[in-house]
Amino acid sequence: MDEDITIINTNTRNERIKNFFINNKNKLITFLISVILISILFFGYGEYKKNEIIKISNLYNSTIIDFSDDNKKKTTDTLIQIVNKKDSTYSPLSLYFIIDNNLIIDRNIINDLFDILIQKTSLDKEIKNLLVFKKGLFNADQSSENELLHILDPLIKTESVWKSHALYLMAEFFYEKNEKLKSKEFFNQIIDLENSNPDIIQEAQKRLNRDFSD
């Protein structure tokens, strides 16, 4: 008797499973197709991104190798193009090359390129902070106090490893402007900062001893 009941229950369960697949055949097929398509798109996008990085790498390297005084405009246009691609490696390198070789004189254009990297490019947090510092360094000679503070504010108000560098830049800025009290204040902030760069601390202490000793 028990064996008969077991057989009946098994047959009933199998019939329910069979009916489930029959009744939901279209939904199951749609689900399986969706999974397959998503997998294809995922791996396809990964391959696309990989190929794009290779293309950008090749474009950057060939541009740098071919650079000469005779093709500055072509080099500049290509490097701007790479910056606008927002690649985490070659976009910053392209901007650095532009600045190091004075390929663009217009400060506003350079600042716009900095902003593309800082605001729109997917980068490690400290790489972005480095770019903020470099933007401040680039603008220091021609900026007002408020402009430079605005640029460096994201560093000064955080615990970034580049904070002490930003403080040192502000200290030097005010010293050159002959605003000694403000300069001394920023040098002292470096000394008091727990995670200041050791070399920056040493330089700040030298400046305080040399230029601000009573």
Per-residue pLDDT 10s for the chain (214 aa) are: 545 445 444 555 556 665 655 666 666 566 556 666 666 666 555 565 677 889 999 999 999 999 998 999 999 999 999 999 999 999 999 999 999 999 999 999 999 999 999 999 999 999 999 999 999 999 999 999 999 999 999 999 998 999 999 999 999 999 999 999 999 999 999 999 988 889 999 999 999 999 887 6
* Cα–Cα distance, 214 to 210 (Å, whole number): 10
pTM over 0.85: no
**Domains of the chain as residue ranges with CATH:** 126-214 (1.25.40)
* Cα–Cα distance, 185 to 172 (Å, whole number): 11
